[in-house]
Structure formats: structure tokens, C-alpha cells
Structure 1
Amino acid sequence: MRLADQVKLLNNALATYNLAATARMLTLAEHLGTPAKGLFDVIAVSTGQSWMSDNLVDVQYDLLLEDVGLLRSEIGALPAGGLDDDVEQAILQARALLGID
């Protein structure tokens, strides 16, 4: 796979993780008795904000899911990326890869 294609698929997979996480937190909020719309308004102006959360309503997720499928077909599986994983270690490793202490 060409580097440019790989970068596109990786970027779109990350976007899909962001979109899915936002959607799941909105569902969890509603399940816990917090209106999803209220959380969505808070996300828009706080630390949970992302391009994907800003565009949740309009984003063409079908294209993102297509790219996720293409990436999976190349590498087999994507990292789960859940909060039950060692999040701190993942953050520290990414910082090290970027040359940031």
C-alpha cells in the first residue's frame, strides 16, 4: 500500500474512533439520565470537543466506515482503544514516538 493511502486510512480510522466515542458517550449520558443534547452542548465548548463532535450530524460516516474496512483488510484488526486498556502507557508511547517527553 502506498504511504499516502495508508496515512489516509489511518487518519480516517482515527476520525471514526472519535465519532464512535462521541456517539457512545451521548448514549451513555442518556442511559444515566443526563440528556444527550445537554452533554452535546457541553462537548462543543470543552475538552471532549473534536472536529468529529462538531460535525456529528453532517459527517458522512459511511465513507469513514469504508476506509476502516479497507484498513482492516490490510492489517487484520484495529486496536480496541478502550478506556479499560492502559491509556497512560499508550499516551506515553505516542509522545515518545513524537520525540516529546
Structure 2
Amino acid sequence: MAVGAEIFDCQSCGACCAYSADWPRFSIEEDEQLEKIPEAFVAADLSGMRCDGTRCLALAGEIGKHVACTIYDVRPEVCRECMPGDPECLMARAERGMPAI
């Protein structure tokens, strides 16, 4: 767990899921993993998650209030690797004007 991770609540944040359309990219997933992600959430070029602007289409709710990943159990590795309070988390929060702590 990242330092200070206990103060971050992913379900009231969602910044990492709306940071960049280039972030939710597939890289080390096996074909079997990728096949579990509903086609509606996969980018047309199959490189990663489909986004509306910078926001992943699998993200439901209002960023900074209450959010949830609608495909949490089958989300790609890049999503699994972003941990509360880690550098990527803090970078995404800063981009959205959210406090680091």
C-alpha cells in the first residue's frame, strides 16, 4: 500500500480513470483477459479502454463525489496497478485540481 493510501478513497475520487485517453492502454494482458472486457468499452483500435475525452467509459458516477468501475472484476492491468496515493494517483488528482492529501 502506498504511503498515505489509507486516506484515499477510490470510490469518491475517480481521477485516475479520467486522467488521459492514453492511460488506460492494454500492455501485458493475455488475450483471454482482454476477451472478458465488453466490446463497448474497448477502443476502436483495440489498444485500450474506450474513452469519452479523457474519461474511461467504464467509469460510472461523478468524479470527486462517488464513482465506480463498471467492469472492475475484468479491468486491465494498468487500472489494477494504479494504487491509492501512488505517484500516478497523485498526478491524476493534481490534473483535476484535487488535493494530494
- Using the size of structure 1 for normalisation, the TM-score is 0.25
Q: Which structure is larger by alpha-carbon Rg, 1 or 2?
A: 1
- Using the size of structure 2 for normalisation, the TM-score is 0.25
| Higher normalized helix content (fraction of residues) | 1
> Relative contact order (C-alpha < 8 Å, sep 6+): which is higher?
2
